Chain A
Amino acid sequence: MSVAPGLRRGDTVTAPTSRPATARPAERATTRRWARPQRSRAQWAGWLFALPALLMYAVFELRPILTAVQCSFYDWDGISAATPVGVANYTRVFTEPQLLASIVHSLVLIVFFTVLPVILGLAVASVVREIRSTWAGAAARTLMFLPQIIPGAASAIAWTWMYSPDGAVNQLLRALGLGSLTRAWLGDFTWALPAVGIIGTWLATGLCTLLLMAGIGKIDTSLYEAASLDGASRLQQFRAITLPGLRAEIGVCVTITVIAALASFDVVFMSTQGGPGYSTQVPGVQVYQLAFTENRIGQSSALAVVLSLLVLAVVLPLQRVFKEK
């Protein structure tokens, strides 16, 4: 009755068949002049459908974001009156060594959360090339997915035990005759950050592998047959067929895991709390500690804003890089 009849009718004049989503903007442009006079009250009434979502989003996401930005220009302990300090909180993010270090660590974690899982996933995907529907293939799929299902906090506990002096990692090293390398991995200033990083590798590898395997399954197998008839080596096939064919999937893996690396919280919080010293401190844990143990709300907000801008600065260009041609 009131399903915005104006625009609907205008649409059917120019585009009588069902249209794919991508065709919309252009087609809308052609119908706009048609539809505008009839943009009726009914169409605005459609907002009643969107209102609950907008309200929840505005109150619990947009408003807190704005509050964080506002707080970042104040010195506030959470109780007494806040005093404006200009950009001092931001300058400190880049000059206070432990704050700057947390940002650097999150960039280092990209190697473990993103680069390693994507490389491992590509290796497995290009060798296996398709997910076999055999019993063993299905079992492997299920097992590889497990890290995605359990909470990050729980995987941190599992790995804390793996890394402990009596844990499986040291046991394995001793069994290999590398007993001299054993240590308390998460308590070691040099090794704690890579050790935390490996937890991220473990978390991301399964998802990346399965995504890339699914993607490779969609590549036309005749391409590979033609290439091998032409005498292309496996490596050449990988570079000429697999990599370009997986562009979109690699983009997805990279985007998700980069966000996970930069905004990591639960794994680090549960395994090291940022320690020993500040050797595994990341912005996420630092934001939490600044706010709730050091009562530096303004400083915490400034770091959170910088972290968000960093995520945008890394992720938005990635969207462009991996856009399918």
Chain B
Amino acid sequence: MTAIARLRDTAPRTVLLTAAALFSVFPLLSMFSAALQPQGTAPAGISFPLHPQWHNFVDAWNVANITTLVQSSAILVLGVVPAAMLISSMAAYAIAQLRIPLGNVFFLLLLLGLTLPYEIVVVPLYYQMQSMGLLNSRLGLILPLIGLNMPFAVFWMRTHFQSVPAELSESSSIDGAGPWQAFRHIQMPLAVPALASLGVLMFLSTWNQFLLAIVLIDDPTKRTMAGALQGFVGAHSTDVVLLNAGALLIMAPTILVFLLFQKFFIRAMLAGAVKG
């Protein structure tokens, strides 16, 4: 193949991929350029300043309480993800491996929750949490998020447990292991890859949870990172520079984690999309 023929072959591909990638980052670049302008000025479009004001990020960090927000989101993720991973695995194991009676009915019931939007539960949840005395508390957000994660999590883990040969539990039961021992010492270690992907997906959905966070928690510093954005915008909507710097900082932790483990994220999300 001559150089020109090769170029003609790869050029459309390169151009399209570049265009798609540019489209994806353009809004973020536009934010970034605005965040570097002097505070109090009115930036125009994308224009990278000669003297970028990096300290805007320091100011935004303090104004937006990023330290507190990262801690808060971390608490929520730690409260939701491990618990949801454990109880969804147990349920999926019961449905797929123990074949509990009426297990399929339970599974169909869960599938309903996979399609229904959060909008139908959010208002009743508000009053339910109010009567439970959990409104405005982190626990009051953690518990519903665990419950609402069940449809996808059980669905995901059931697919995994269906692929585990039944001989495995048979031989372990012959060796005298009860279902709990078999689950803990044989099934869970084998489920690590499936659990890891599930963990990534639930980390993202918890960290980025918006609707439930703004409804169930009044105090922006106790919300998720995404929920905190609402309070931050309310307070700084006129200051374009600080707003963009703050919003970028609020996005930064997930972007950082994503860049570090991108292959893992992409694999989990593509598989999650197909399974979900």
Contact = CB atoms under 8 A, between A and B. Distances in A.
B154 to A, nearest CB: 6
A143 B270 CA distance: 15
B28 A158 contact: yes
A224 B209 CA distance: 43
Interface in B243-276: 243-244, 247, 250-251, 254-255, 258-259, 262, 265-266, 269-270, 273-274, 276
A247 to B, nearest CB: 13
Nearest to A137: B17
A53 to B, nearest CB: 4
Looking at A57, A136, A307, the one whose CB has the most chain B CB atoms below 10 A away is A57
B183 A158 contact: no
B75 interface: no
A166 B93 CA distance: 56
Contacts of A136: 14, 17
B115 interface: yes
Contacts of B162: 21, 24
Nearest to A167: B45
Interface stretch (B52-60, B61-69, B170-178, B189-197): B170-178
Q: Is the interface of B mostly helix, strand, loop or mixed?
A: helix
Contacts, number: 326
B116 interface: yes
A64 B121 contact: yes
Given A123-B16, A171-B45, A50 B30 contact: no
A111 interface: no
Interface string A247-291: 011001100100100110110011000000000000110011001
B9 to A, nearest CB: 11
A78 B215 CA distance: 15
B169 interface: yes
Given A18-B166, A43-B101, A265-B210, A287 B123 contact: yes
A304 B120 contact: yes
B146 interface: yes
B148 interface: yes
A305 to B, nearest CB: 7
Listed from nearest, the 8 A-B pairs whose CB atoms lie closest are A60-B147, A171-B45, A18-B165, A263-B117, A151-B226, A53-B91, A46-B98, A64-B124
18 contacts: A4-B179, A8-B169, A52-B91, A53-B150, A57-B110, A60-B148, A64-B122, A78-B127, A145-B258, A146-B24, A146-B255, A147-B24, A153-B226, A154-B247, A166-B43, A214-B270, A292-B126, A297-B123
Interface of A: 1-5, 7-8, 11-12, 18-19, 21, 24, 39, 43-47, 49-50, 52-54, 56-57, 59-65, 67-68, 71, 78, 120, 123-124, 127-129, 136-137, 139-155, 157-159, 161-162, 164, 166-168, 170-172, 202, 205-207, 209-211, 214, 248-249, 252-253, 256, 259, 262-263, 265-266, 269-270, 283-284, 287-288, 291-292, 297, 300-301, 304-305, 307-308, 311-312, 315-316
Interface of B: 12-14, 16-18, 20-28, 30-31, 34, 42-46, 87-88, 90-91, 93-95, 98-101, 103, 106, 109-110, 113, 115-128, 143-144, 146-148, 150-151, 154, 159, 162-163, 165-167, 169-170, 172-173, 176-179, 182-183, 204, 207-208, 210-211, 215, 225-227, 229-230, 233, 240, 243-244, 247, 250-251, 254-255, 258-259, 262, 265-266, 269-270, 273-274, 276
